[in-house]
Amino acid sequence: MEATVICSKIPSALTGMNLTRLQEESSSMPTATVCMTHMWTYNIIAGQMTRCSMPIQSIVVFVLNDIPENLVDGSQGNTRLSATSIVGSGTPGTVFPGQGDFGLDAVLGSSGGDDDDAGTYLVSNVSILLVKSVVISDASGGSRPVTGATLSYTITVTASGSGSARSVVITDSIPENTTFVAGTLTLNSVPLTDEADADAGDAGQTTPGVVTVRLGDIAIPSQEQIITFDVIIN
């Protein structure tokens, strides 16, 4: 027989009983666990009482996998985590004299002092392709890269693979000997302000001399993202 009583739920029948009396009352129970404080529990086995750490405590373990570079998109990996008590393992209820906290006895819980779990992961390989093009327009209606000519840039962003690309940010340096044309930055034909504000882009605010556009998370499959802006040759 096994009984577990949490601190805040000790039955009224046990209230006021001292440890000696509790030990005597437990002599008919092969195993009992009674929480006496928030820090400790008292195990009563065959009428003998020992103190130990709370048996209901647990920890969360995160496992990080190094994914080999040669795995292709869609590959599956397997991970197994095993844990064993530092004092040993065996049949639940086994006592290890003097192996618990502060030299007290350690008692194996329901897992027998060891456990394991397995998980799988799927390799998602996302590729981001950037294609940049430029159209030159000079004052005479031609396409010569002369002083005063306008360079209209288009950056096409294409994502492929599977899964999602997280927090994608596109940056492009404003060419030397040119000046960014205020109000020309767009994303998918939607104008963006030049300031670092609530919209997705800015010109020279996040990083001086650099156009920045924050695309956020891109789920695959996704449509192309098109960024445009103009500069003038000095």
Q: Tell me which of 59-63, 85-89, 180-184, 188-192 is least confident.
A: 59-63
Domain boundaries, the chain: 126-233
| Residue 199, pLDDT score | 95
Which residues, 6 or more positions from 69, have their beta carbon under 8 angstroms from its beta carbon? Answer: none
Averaged over 126-134, what is the pLDDT?
93
Averaged over 60-84, what is the pLDDT?
79
Candidates 58, 38, 62, 60; CA nearest to 110 is: 58
| Residue 110, pLDDT score | 80
Top-confidence residue, 219 or 27: 219
Task: Provide CATH code, domain 126-233.
Answer: 2.60.40
Q: What is the pTM of this model?
A: 0.56
Which residues, 6 or more positions from 45, have their beta carbon under 8 angstroms from its beta carbon? Answer: 30, 31, 93, 95, 107
Averaged over 15-37, what is the pLDDT?
38
| Residue 13, pLDDT score | 38
| Residue 35, pLDDT score | 36
Percentage above 90 pLDDT, the chain:
40
| Residue 68, pLDDT score | 77
CA distances from 128 to 112, 157, 158, 160, 221 (A): 49, 7, 6, 7, 12
List pLDDT tens digits, range 27-63. Answer: 433 333 333 333 344 444 444 444 444 444 566 777 7
